[in-house]
Amino acid sequence: MASDNIQLDKNGHLKHFLSTEGLSRNLLFDILDHAESFAGVGDRAVKKVPILRGKTIVNLFFEPSTRTRTTFELAAKRLSADVLNLNIAQSATSKGESLQDTLQTLEAMHCDMFVVRHASSGAAHFIASQVSPRIRIINAGDGNHAHPTQAMLDMFTIRRHKPDFTKLKVAIVGDILHSRVARSEIHALTTLGVNEVRVIAPLTLLPSKVESLGVHVFHDMEKGLENVDVIIMLRLQRERMRNALLPSEKEFFVSHGLTEEKLKAAKDDAIVMHPGPINRGVEIDTQVADGERSVILQQVSHGIAIRMAVMAMCMGSPDELSAVES
Amino acid sequence: MASDNIQLDKNGHLKHFLSTEGLSRNLLFDILDHAESFAGVGDRAVKKVPILRGKTIVNLFFEPSTRTRTTFELAAKRLSADVLNLNIAQSATSKGESLQDTLQTLEAMHCDMFVVRHASSGAAHFIASQVSPRIRIINAGDGNHAHPTQAMLDMFTIRRHKPDFTKLKVAIVGDILHSRVARSEIHALTTLGVNEVRVIAPLTLLPSKVESLGVHVFHDMEKGLENVDVIIMLRLQRERMRNALLPSEKEFFVSHGLTEEKLKAAKDDAIVMHPGPINRGVEIDTQVADGERSVILQQVSHGIAIRMAVMAMCMGSPDELSAVES
Amino acid sequence: MASDNIQLDKNGHLKHFLSTEGLSRNLLFDILDHAESFAGVGDRAVKKVPILRGKTIVNLFFEPSTRTRTTFELAAKRLSADVLNLNIAQSATSKGESLQDTLQTLEAMHCDMFVVRHASSGAAHFIASQVSPRIRIINAGDGNHAHPTQAMLDMFTIRRHKPDFTKLKVAIVGDILHSRVARSEIHALTTLGVNEVRVIAPLTLLPSKVESLGVHVFHDMEKGLENVDVIIMLRLQRERMRNALLPSEKEFFVSHGLTEEKLKAAKDDAIVMHPGPINRGVEIDTQVADGERSVILQQVSHGIAIRMAVMAMCMGSPDELSAVES
């Protein structure tokens, strides 16, 4: 994945959004600030801005996901773009067409942006490296590698509650090993200058050398959550675990599931986050998920704003963008 | 299902449209009058009004139905809303998310209205009772309980041909037992003051105590159709009948299928209705379905107008509505 | 298929677009000229014209095809129409509704145009003969019979490179027998006055009496390609071949696959076309497909313009059309 300069144009503006890795603190703040200007659109009577009118955005999903596809589709429609949903897993390559040919065909149709989800790590980068300079790529999740819009909506949610990142202790809890969300969050949190980033997981669910990412490793919830401001629970990716890396869901809940009891270790005003969909009683207790510390549904709302922001920025002329804010 | 007050806001305006049961005669007439103002939109060169521009309407189908989904999608698009089609049966809950979490997630995305179809009776009421006050619910069919937009498009079609409900004899024929359409029609017809509502069915296809709904029961077509103004044939829900409640489709046609011969019992200017899709030669003869007394295709057209009307009314500010009529 | 007058209204304007057979040279040129006026829309910042705003176009696909459906959906959206995608194979007729009833139901919903793909030859003609005069039909491929928009986008592409059809030698290569594309191209090329149309295929992949269409038959690539201006490769329809009509894909490539070597027989400035998706190494070598003589991706772009043109022409008032060109 080496350099992520491919994400920027020659003026340093966002061109593709593939990963939070390799982007500057300023650029991440820029994304958050843009998202602020879109956050109000959802509350308007007319939830639509004309920024991407006449643009064609393709949801290019090689791995099915109704939920993520829906958020991108909504974000695109609220920007007034035309949206095509292509579920490649089910259809196009059934005729044996190569990925390259699929991409070139969509380019030839004058599509402007591909929102890519793929089971292979690096797929979105690869596609960004192959398409013509006219096309913009948003990574909607690639293998175990990255899910940058999820990470940025989390940063947005954190900032709304805790404006100064440099003062925060943040714990990410669960299946770090298989989590593209965790990877993207760790890069975003460290880049934004968070005081301390912790990961809490059983040994079997941690990548080797995870400390090299700048995080502190904990295996025990009570110690790991001590005095933190933000708790990010991860979804237990049952469908992604090929081997028996943990004894049972029930045992996982006992050791690493978030309960009111375990939550006491954190600061009194700590917020609880989760990318959804939630496995209640597996990684999080219902009481906590629905409790007053939970900001899980705010994350969903912010997800639309973040996706509108990165779509507009990548496609974007700054002139058009400034129109929203007025 | 007890009270349907959940359908009304505190000023008595339509908020959700879940059932024809429990709504006042005035309100039903109000729906019909609104639909009149939308009925012309389908004939315009530009079949679009800006009433719901910037609103997000979700077709939340827990039971697949291309036909019904299509009519709601068209109605929403002609109101200029953005439409999301979610086939929950196939997708979202495959990740094990609870209904509650699915609903809250869609709310957090600032969706405005859910059009719900579900195999369980009461599902739309349940969902309406769970969502935040911002959300509007339209019932697109729940189990054997209700299908109120179908009932109202039928009332609309009847009124176009026979303006005074109080003078009418209406017969509903066929599988009353499994028909949510029949239930919603009976409530609408009695509320609108129809002179006499009859149901005609074999004993095995009648709910127990159906007379308590205010209908007269007939088992014989010739007697039941005598002198009626309106005949509503029901679809034989083959896919919904779990047991052998009738000997064969052929025998059903002989006893309860509508033929030119049986039609003679009705008034000379009686109209013939059917919710579609038609099983030709099972519940209705081709000659009758395509004959001059049939208003079946008018029902389809009116279905778009009725759906536009209830969507607009539930979402709606009266100010915006009056704009269509000008 | 006899007469194609069904395609024209009483003033000789295009009403349905079912086949290139039976249309006059003037009308084909008219389509190409209209497509020129739409070709630039794909390069605009706002890729949208308001010509079909408020119209409802239904993609009525009885045979699934993501690629073709996508091009029609994009063309319709860029004309500002509302689009319904109905995959009839999967859904509607599962309830046993007849084709006739499906069509009448969509008509009653005030749909304006059906884009039809069907596995049976003649399906689009049949549908055009059944629907009410208000409805327009575009054939998006019917059995082995016709695929007229593909043929016209090919004509458009040829004219962009070789403006005078009367001077051209054009070779169509491959599985002529099963190709609706080939049939539509042969009719278009001969109508447009092309000097010589050749087909090159093994005996087993040629229809009987193909010469009666006005083409010269070759079995050998070197002789058939000699001195041609345009080479149209056909996709080897593996999914459409029911019997073992050719020994193997590899042998087919050796005998009839287009390579740089075989290409030498053609004129130095000959262009290479293919309707896509490509089977690299089966009917065309990668070097040729991606080489400088290939205009395959231009064909894709022109496909949107041609589809916009025929949709607008069929639906259309000439007054509205002239607005695009200004």
R_g of chain A computed on alpha carbons: 19
Whether the predicted pLDDT of A243 surpasses 90: no
What is the distance between the alpha carbons of residues C205 and C219, in angstroms, rounded to a whole number?
10
Rounded to the nearest 10°, the torsion over CA B170, B174, B179, B181 is -30
Q: pLDDT value at position B28?
A: 98
Cα separations in angstroms, B120 against A68, A317, B19, B116, B187? 27, 49, 14, 11, 20
Q: Are residues B262 and B307 in the same domain?
A: no
Q: Quick one: average pLDDT of A11-26?
A: 95
What is the distance between the alpha carbons of residues C307 and C299, in angstroms, rounded to a whole number?
12
- Least-confidence region, from A186-200, B80-94, B170-184, B222-236: B80-94
Number of other CB atoms surrounding residue A113 within 10 Å: 25
Number of helices (H) and strands (E) in chain A: give both, helices first. 12, 9
How much of chain C is helix, strand and coil, in % rounded to 5? Answer: 45, 15, 40
Q: pLDDT value at position C242?
A: 56
Residue B323: pLDDT band (50, 70, 90) is very low
Q: H/E element holding A32?
A: helix A25-39
Contacts of C280 in chain A (CB under 8 A): 98, 101
Cα separations in angstroms, C74 against C33, C42, C48, C85, C239? 20, 10, 10, 12, 26
Peptide bond connecting B163 to the previous residue in cis, omega within 30 degrees of 0: no
Asked if residues A173 and A231 have their Cβ atoms less than 8 Å apart, the reply is: yes
CA atoms within 13 A on the CB side of C226: 8
Whether the predicted pLDDT of C323 surpasses 80: no
Single-letter amino acid, residue A292: E
- What integer best gives the mean pLDDT of chain A? 91
Single-letter amino acid, residue B14: L
Q: Which two tokens stand for residue C202?
A: 């093994």
Q: Are residues A158 and A240 in the same domain?
A: yes
Q: pLDDT value at position B321?
A: 40
Pairing of strands B56-61, B113-118: parallel
Asked if residues C172 and C186 have their Cβ atoms less than 8 Å apart, the reply is: yes
Residue B239: pLDDT band (50, 70, 90) is low
Q: Are residues B91 and B186 in the same domain?
A: no
Q: Are residues A116 and A211 in the same domain?
A: no
Of B305 and B97, the structure prediction assigns the larger pLDDT to: B305
Number of other CB atoms surrounding residue C122 within 10 Å: 17
Choose the mutation target among B47, B153, B238, B302 for the interface with C, i.e. most C CBs under 10 Å: B47
What is the distance between the alpha carbons of residues A183 and A177, in angstroms, rounded to a whole number?
9
Peptide bond connecting A64 to the previous residue in cis, omega within 30 degrees of 0: no
Q: H/E element holding A155?
A: helix A148-161
3-state secondary structure (DSSP) of residue B281: coil
Single-letter amino acid, residue C11: N
Of B177 and A88, the structure prediction assigns the larger pLDDT to: B177
What is the distance between the alpha carbons of residues A152 and A29, in angstroms, rounded to a whole number?
10
Residues facing A61 on adjacent strands: A87, A117
The nearest CA of chain C is from the CA of A124 a distance in Å of 21
What is the distance between the alpha carbons of residues A58 and A61, in angstroms, rounded to a whole number?
9
Q: Quick one: average pLDDT of B140-168?
A: 97
Chains that touch A (3 or more CB pairs under 8 A): B, C
Calculate what percentage of chain A has a pLDDT beyond 70: 91
Closest by CA position to A21, among listed A184, A223, A241: A184
Q: Are residues B77 and B132 in the same domain?
A: yes
Asked if residues C158 and C32 have their Cβ atoms less than 8 Å apart, the reply is: no
Q: pLDDT value at position C222?
A: 96
User: DSSP state, C236?
Assistant: -
Q: Do B70 and C86 touch (CB under 8 A)?
A: yes
Residue A321: pLDDT band (50, 70, 90) is very low
Q: pLDDT value at position B324?
A: 44
What is the distance between the alpha carbons of residues A133 and A78, in angstroms, rounded to a whole number?
25
Q: Where are the alpha helices (DSSP H) in C207-317?
A: 221-225, 249-256, 260-263, 286-289, 296-315
Q: pLDDT value at position C223?
A: 97
Contacts of B303 in chain C (CB under 8 A): 109
Chains that touch B (3 or more CB pairs under 8 A): A, C
Whether the predicted pLDDT of B325 surpasses 50: no
Q: Which two tokens stand for residue B91?
A: 């997708």
Q: ipTM of this predicted complex?
A: 0.90
Q: Quick one: average pLDDT of C78-98?
A: 77
Q: H/E element holding A109?
A: none
Contacts of B71 in chain C (CB under 8 A): 109
Closest by CA position to C74, among listed A55, A203, B144, B77: A55
Q: Are residues C187 and C283 in the same domain?
A: yes
Q: How far apart are the first and last CA of chain A?
A: 39
Q: Are residues C294 and C154 in the same domain?
A: yes
The nearest CA of chain C is from the CA of A287 a distance in Å of 41
Q: pLDDT value at position B243?
A: 62
Residue C74: pLDDT band (50, 70, 90) is very high
Contacts of A300 in chain B (CB under 8 A): 105, 108-109
Whether the predicted pLDDT of A237 surpasses 80: no
Whose tokens are 């024929």? That residue is: B173
Q: Do A73 and B96 touch (CB under 8 A)?
A: no
Single-letter amino acid, residue B265: A
Q: Are residues B154 and B290 in the same domain?
A: yes
Residue A43: pLDDT band (50, 70, 90) is confident
Closest by CA position to C138, among listed C11, C274, C273, C31: C31
pLDDT one-digit tens code per residue, A158-181:
999 999 999 999 999 999 999 999
Q: pLDDT value at position A233?
A: 98
Number of other CB atoms surrounding residue B237 within 10 Å: 18
pTM confidence score: 0.92
What domain range includes position A183? 148-296
DSSP characters over A238-262: GGG--S--SS-HHHHHHHHSB-HHH
Q: pLDDT value at position B286?
A: 96
Peptide bond connecting C277 to the previous residue in cis, omega within 30 degrees of 0: yes
Residue A316: pLDDT band (50, 70, 90) is confident
Residue B293: pLDDT band (50, 70, 90) is very high
What is the distance between the alpha carbons of residues A37 and B6, in angstroms, rounded to a whole number?
36
Closest by CA position to B174, among listed B225, B117, B122, B243: B225
pLDDT one-digit tens code per residue, C197-252:
999 999 999 999 999 999 999 999 999 999 999 999 999 877 655 566 677 888 88
Q: pLDDT value at position C243?
A: 62
Residues facing A216 on adjacent strands: A198
Q: Which two tokens stand for residue A245?
A: 């890396």
Q: pLDDT value at position B319?
A: 36
Asked if residues C308 and C78 have their Cβ atoms less than 8 Å apart, the reply is: yes
Q: Are residues A286 and A311 in the same domain?
A: no
User: Looking at chain A, which residue has its C-alpha nearest residue C304?
Assistant: A109
Closest by CA position to B233, among listed B182, B290, B274: B274
Q: pLDDT value at position A322?
A: 41
Asked if residues A229 and A271 have their Cβ atoms less than 8 Å apart, the reply is: yes
Q: pLDDT value at position B231?
A: 98
Contacts of C319 in chain B (CB under 8 A): none
Q: What CATH number is associated with residue A308?
A: 3.40.50.1370
Cα separations in angstroms, B211 against A251, B167, C271? 57, 20, 77
Contacts of C64 in chain A (CB under 8 A): 91
Contacts of C312 in chain B (CB under 8 A): none
Q: Identify which of C102, C104, C110 has the shortest CB distance to residue B304.
A: C110
pLDDT one-digit tens code per residue, B26-78:
999 999 999 999 999 988 889 999 999 999 999 999 988 888 999 999 999 99
Q: Which two tokens stand for residue B114?
A: 């859910």
Q: pLDDT value at position B318?
A: 41
pLDDT one-digit tens code per residue, B191-205:
999 999 999 999 999
Number of other CB atoms surrounding residue A88 within 10 Å: 20
Residue A90: pLDDT band (50, 70, 90) is low
Q: Quick one: average pLDDT of C118-131?
A: 95
Single-letter amino acid, residue B157: T
Of A239 and A88, the structure prediction assigns the larger pLDDT to: A88
Pairing of strands A169-173, A196-200: parallel
Q: Quick one: average pLDDT of B238-251?
A: 70
Q: Which two tokens stand for residue A16?
A: 């593709």
Of A242 and C55, the structure prediction assigns the larger pLDDT to: C55
The nearest CA of chain B is from the CA of A12 a distance in Å of 31
Q: Are residues C310 and C244 in the same domain?
A: no
Whether the predicted pLDDT of C322 surpasses 50: no
Q: Are residues A223 and A249 in the same domain?
A: yes
Total domains present in chain A: 2
Single-letter amino acid, residue A114: F
Residue C316: pLDDT band (50, 70, 90) is confident
Strand-by-strand arrangement of the A82-87 sheet? A82-87, A56-61, A113-118, A136-142
Whether the predicted pLDDT of B226 surpasses 60: yes
Whether the predicted pLDDT of C319 surpasses 90: no
Whose tokens are 């998310």? That residue is: B97
Q: H/E element holding A231?
A: strand A230-233
- Least-confidence region, from A79-93, A195-209, C14-28: A79-93
The nearest CA of chain C is from the CA of B66 a distance in Å of 6
Single-letter amino acid, residue A197: V
Q: Do B110 and A73 touch (CB under 8 A)?
A: no
Residue B2: pLDDT band (50, 70, 90) is very low
Asked if residues A162 and A168 have their Cβ atoms less than 8 Å apart, the reply is: yes
User: DSSP state, A85?
Assistant: E
Asked if residues C299 and C231 have their Cβ atoms less than 8 Å apart, the reply is: no
- What integer best gives the mean pLDDT of chain C? 91
Q: Are residues A87 and A164 in the same domain?
A: no
Q: Do B105 and A298 touch (CB under 8 A)?
A: no
Calculate what percentage of chain B has a pLDDT beyond 70: 91
